[in-house]
Amino acid sequence: MGRYFLKRFVYSLFTILLISSVTFLMMHSIPGGPFTRERAVPDEILKVLNAKYNLDDPLIVQFLNYMGGVLTFDLGPSFSKVGTSVNDLITSGFPSTATVGAWAVLSIILVGIPLGVISALKQGSSIDYSVMLLATFGVTVPSFVIATLIIYFFAGQLGWIPPFGLSTPQSYIGPVVALSGYSLSFVSRLTRSSMLEVLRQDYIRTARANGLSEFSVIMKHAVKNALIPVVTYLGPTIAAIMTGSFVVERIFAIPGIGRYFVESVSNRDYTTIMGVTILYAAFYVMMVLLVDIIYALVDPRIRFEKESKN
Amino acid sequence: MAPLLEVKHLETSFFTHVGEIEAVRDVSFTLEHGQVLGIVGESGSGKSVSALSIMGLIESPGKIKGGKVLFEGKEISSLNNGQMSEIRGNEISMIFQEPMTSLNPVYTIENQMVEVIRRHQKINSKDATKLAIDMLKLVGIPEPAKRIKSYPHEFSGGMRQRVMIATALSCGPKLLIADEPTTALDVTIQAQILELMNDLKNRVNTSIIIITHDLGVIAEVCDHIVVMYGGKIMEKGTEKDIFYDPLHPYTVGLQKSIPKIHKGERARLVPIKGSPPDLLHPPKGCPFAARCPHAMQICLERAPPTYRVSPTHTSACWLLDKNAPKTEGYRTGEAIDG
Amino acid sequence: MPPGPERFVRLEEQENTANAETTRPSLTYWQDAWRRLKNHKPAIAGLVGVVLIILFAVFGPLFVRESYSDQNLDFSNLPPTLAIFELAPDYYVFRTEDYKVLRIGGDGEILYRLPRTTQDPIKKLYTYSDGDQDIVLDFSYNLLPGKMDSPFDYSFVYQGNEITAPAKTVLNKNYPFGTDVVGRNLLVRVMYGARISLTVAFVASLVNLLIGVAYGSISGYEGGRIDIIMMRFVDLLNSIPLVLYVILIMVVFGNRGLNTMIIALGSVYWVTMARLVRGQILALKEQEFVLSARALGVPRSQIIFRHLVPNAMGPIIVSMTMMIPSAVFTESFISFIGLGVSAPMASWGTLANDALTGLLSYPYQLLFPSLAIAFTMLSFNMLGDGLRDALDPRLRKG
């Protein structure tokens, strides 16, 4: 068991390093340097800039320097914001991104899963239909549309929430709903179908035949099994929510990592693009690892398989 | 003393989007204390649905339309789910066909058994674990104290069925319903499980209903037999009645269609031609008429009444009517209903 | 009443069994699937939706005169419904949010813009002329002292009459979806957007399909070490947030053309398909018909593509149907952050992005591209769900 996780952990680290290398190489294969602009920059200035950021070193030296930085959590200076390092940008953006993301994840788990369970238990009822209608809406409408609709109606027409920023508690509602909408809907649909599948299983009939209370049949025997596929989906989703926040951050003008990322894409701030990509990827890989661990803890069959493999 | 279980005119239907499927139609039988009753029939004959109806485990879109179930003289078919769950696993237990999937994969055997025991008995979890280990020992699981910590997937099918039986018997039920307990198992394991049930029948004072499509299983353990077909009871009697004096063409057909391995005997296997009736639109006459070698005009028109030929033996077949043409192996009985 | 003896007549064997046997016509896999799909109402609705979108994208532009890039600044930011003022009998005008005044036909046809002759921003009086007649727009109400309590916001003065309320609301006949900030016809933009979004989605899905099927079937068929190495690579790709890589590829390529988008989407999202195909092939290759083909010396590539892949077609089609809407989704996402197809072409995501700046004044500009995306997603998802039910062999009943 322990060995398996250690192996998985080392494998994840290796993945992150590989992703960092690929990202580095991709960014350095862009024709023209980071200081290529529509208006030509004088050669002398370019030379100074290149020397300042060590861009005149051979690629392999740059690569080793950068990877050394990644290993020591130093993502280098920002190319467009003079005097600011990528670490500074991430540090200043992280609180907003993390807070909105955490609320979104919480609402997915605390709203999406119960909705799916209730919907499955009341299959065919009007509750079921309304939940599924809402969930279908959620998975067919892109987050930027949800976000703009929220701004238009709740900020513009009704004036209930501020249209941008994170100044008041209410201002979290819009970003959190927009960010979690798709996954929340998906999770409730997934939970519902998984729950329906589990409720048909023989062991549920056994639990009933053994006279267990309906509460125990549902909450203990059905829900835990039904959550196995949901957990598998949740890991990458949580990572994607944290990383996919750039659209929502852009619309609601939230000073988070995602907004810096979008800005850096349009400013050709290559170090920031690289840094944020690597950060996102690392987070994603770690979430996948975490889910694998939870998965093995929830489902003894997986644990068994992995123990016997190692 | 009232009989242990009385099923009276039970009718269960499934209301699907294509229409009403009449799975159980007017089924009545009685089980005395200490008896082992076998319900035999092919799939779709309504035998499992009857058992689930007794347990109060019919799920939507299924519904008990009529009749009642009396347990020790007390009507249990009118109880709500909460009241019924006090009886299930406590006074009436049930085990199922699929031992591979009938245990919850994410909990240990201990967890699942202790939960059932503590649901019905006021004992602490330590005593419950002890009881569970004793039950596992009773059903022949080696090293029960160690194995109880295992998860279901670490057991073989036969072992899982033993766990199921141990759980079902852990609260000392008066009645155990076993729905095809051996069907999913290898032949050698089947024999072991049947031997176990035979043994338990004598050791714990539990009446048993065994539901099966396998006459061989019935012959080994049952003293009374109910033969079902198309949602109805065709014939009812003691083991001797059914095996040595079958009075329904369906029972006769069933016996001809199973292989006999006796010294020097080489009987041909005779399959029953055709397929069971569509219970979405059940025939208005006898359900077996379409496949019956002795079918008569009346069989298509009216469902036969039940004829009694001895105090223990009844059969629902028009051949037993006084007006029926003489047929070899059949004799006239006294109509007791319909 | 007990039955009489005459009813106890033996039946002939044929007479009896004739009414018992039910025969069903034998159907091929695809006939059966089609039969099941036809009974699945949401799937048929989805199929109709998909056909409608494709017709809209392919034939829609043929029915309009303008192209997606034709601008008319006179008619910028016009909504799909116009609240028009009747200044004289059958003389209608419309005032835009930016105080242009347009002459409108009674049926909603936009005729021409009235030139503004004088403007007095202090008193908030604008004068427009139509031939020899002057129209005065007074929007001082609710703004200037003394008129603060007025129940309306502005009024027209025409030939001495003051008109304060719109006579009626008509549908915009020239621009059913309205126009954007430079006066381009949004209906046409959405039609061409459909072409771009769907082309990207279809081609990217096709690329995914080809790579995924080839990769998955080789990995599954070869098995052993090759399979392990190939699947490790898939696992690796799977542990990367793919949308980031699409963005990176878009950044690296620099040019924002259709091809770049297709390459970006197609090169990344095939992993799901590869896994699915591998699983199918692994299950299928153990079957007898593959053994017999091998025994007959059928070459490997032929076994894979003639025998194995066609048998895995059901799940592949289902997965493909689900891939198209997610490609539309991703494309719109990428376009929305400004990395999409460049102007003047526009995908639905780009249109939604363009609408963002004027959202509070012109919400309809976001509405139509969003509706198009949502409608496409919904149609393909419903169709995909139905196909899964119809094609998934696990659910097939005898």
pLDDT band at residue A310 under the 50/70/90 scheme: very low
> B336 in helix, strand or coil?
coil
Which pLDDT does position C337 carry in this prediction?
74
Which of the other chains make 3 or more beta carbon contacts under 8 angstroms with chain C? A, B
Phi then psi dihedrals of residue B185, to 5 deg? -105, 160
pLDDT mean over A180-197: 89
Q: Does B154 touch chain A (CB under 8 A)?
A: yes
Q: Residue A206: which of B86, B96, B119 has the nearest Cβ?
A: B96
pLDDT mean over B256-280: 69
CA distance C8 to B323: 7
Which pLDDT does position B128 carry in this prediction?
93
Which pLDDT does position C2 carry in this prediction?
66
pLDDT band at residue B53 under the 50/70/90 scheme: very high
Q: At what angle do helices C29-38 and C364-391 cross, to 10 degrees?
A: 130
**CB proximity under 8 Å: B 106-145 to A:** 106-108, 115-116, 119-120
For chain A, what percent of residues have pLDDT higher than 90?
12
Q: Is residue B6 pLDDT above 70, yes or no?
A: yes
Q: In terms of DSSP bridges, do strands B62-71 and B74-75 run parallel, antiparallel, or are they unpaired? A: antiparallel
Q: Do C236 and A140 count as a contact with CB atoms less than 8 A apart?
A: no
The residue type at A63: F
Which pLDDT does position C18 carry in this prediction?
43
Say which residue the tokens 């994603």 belong to: A284
Residue numbers in B near A304 (CB within 8 A): 151, 153-154
pLDDT mean over A207-222: 91
pLDDT in tens, chain C (398 residues): 567 777 787 776 545 554 444 445 566 777 777 877 787 788 888 889 999 989 888 888 887 777 777 777 777 777 777 777 777 777 777 877 777 777 777 777 777 777 777 777 776 777 777 777 777 777 766 666 666 666 667 777 777 777 777 777 777 777 778 777 777 888 888 888 888 888 888 898 898 889 988 898 888 888 888 888 888 888 777 777 777 778 888 777 776 678 888 888 888 788 888 888 888 888 887 777 888 888 888 888 888 888 788 777 878 888 888 888 888 888 888 887 777 777 677 888 888 888 877 777 777 888 888 888 888 888 888 888 888 777 765 443 32
Class of domain C186-395: mainly alpha
Chain A residue closest to C244 (CA)? A277
pLDDT band at residue A309 under the 50/70/90 scheme: very low
For residues A92 and A205, the model is more confident at A205
Q: Please name every residue paired with B6 in a beta bridge, in sequence order, or none if there are none.
A: B30, B70
pLDDT mean over A280-300: 80
Q: Residue A209: which of B55, B82, B153 has the nearest Cβ?
A: B55
Question: How many A/C residue pairs have CB atoms within 8 Å?
Answer: 105
Do the beta carbons of residue B89 and residue B116 sit within 8 Å? yes
Phi then psi dihedrals of residue C180, to 5 deg? -95, -165
Q: Does A294 touch chain B (CB under 8 A)?
A: no
In whole angstroms, how far apart are CA A265 and each of A96, A247, A262, C302, C340? 20, 13, 5, 46, 12
Which pLDDT does position C275 carry in this prediction?
86
What is the DSSP secondary-structure string of B183-199? Answer: TTS-HHHHHHHHHHHHH
Q: Residue B98: which of A202, A211, A299 has the nearest Cβ?
A: A202
Which pair of structure tokens corresponds to residue A272? 């920031």
CA distance to partner chain B, nearest, from residue C398 (Å):
14
Q: From the options 1.10.3720.10, 3.40.50.1100, 3.40.50.300, 2.70.150.10, give the CATH code of A90-309.
A: 1.10.3720.10
| H-helix or E-strand spanning residue A99 | helix A86-107
For residues A56 and A60, the model is more confident at A60
Residue numbers in A near C243 (CB within 8 A): 240, 243-244
Do the beta carbons of residue B254 and residue B40 sit within 8 Å? yes
The whole-chain average pLDDT of chain A stands at: 81
Q: Residue B90: which of A205, A211, A304 has the nearest Cβ?
A: A211
Do the beta carbons of residue B317 and residue B304 sit within 8 Å? yes
Q: Which residues of chain A does CATH 1.10.3720.10 include?
A: 90-309
Q: Do A141 and C373 count as a contact with CB atoms less than 8 A apart?
A: yes
Q: Residue C16: which of B275, B295, B301 has the nearest Cβ?
A: B295
- Best mutation target among A206, A213, A303 (most B Cβ atoms within 10 Å) is A206
Q: Do B323 and C5 count as a contact with CB atoms less than 8 A apart?
A: yes
Q: Do C363 and A152 count as a contact with CB atoms less than 8 A apart?
A: yes
Q: Residue B106: which of A206, A212, A299 has the nearest Cβ?
A: A299
Q: Does B298 touch chain C (CB under 8 A)?
A: yes
For chain A, what percent of residues have pLDDT higher than 70?
90
pLDDT (tens digit, 9 = 90+) per residue, B70-126?
Answer: 999 899 988 888 899 899 989 999 998 888 888 998 899 999 999 999 999 999 999
What is the DSSP secondary-structure string of A25-49? Answer: HHHHTSSS-TT--SSPPPHHHHHHH
Q: Does C398 touch chain B (CB under 8 A)?
A: no
CA distance to partner chain A, nearest, from residue C378 (Å):
6
Q: Do B301 and C7 count as a contact with CB atoms less than 8 A apart?
A: yes
pLDDT (tens digit, 9 = 90+) per residue, A117-163?
Answer: 999 998 888 888 899 888 888 888 888 888 888 888 887 777 777 77
Which pLDDT does position C255 carry in this prediction?
66
Q: Residue C352: which of A145, A236, A244 has the nearest Cβ?
A: A145
Residue C9, classified by CB atoms within 10 Å of its CB into exposed (0-12), middle (13-18) or buried (19+), is: exposed
Q: Does C360 touch chain B (CB under 8 A)?
A: no
Q: Does C62 touch chain B (CB under 8 A)?
A: no
CA distance A213 to A221: 11
Q: Do B164 and A206 count as a contact with CB atoms less than 8 A apart?
A: yes
CA distance to partner chain B, nearest, from residue C390 (Å):
18
The residue type at B38: G
pLDDT (tens digit, 9 = 90+) per residue, B31-49?
Answer: 998 889 999 988 888 889 9
Which pLDDT does position B49 carry in this prediction?
92
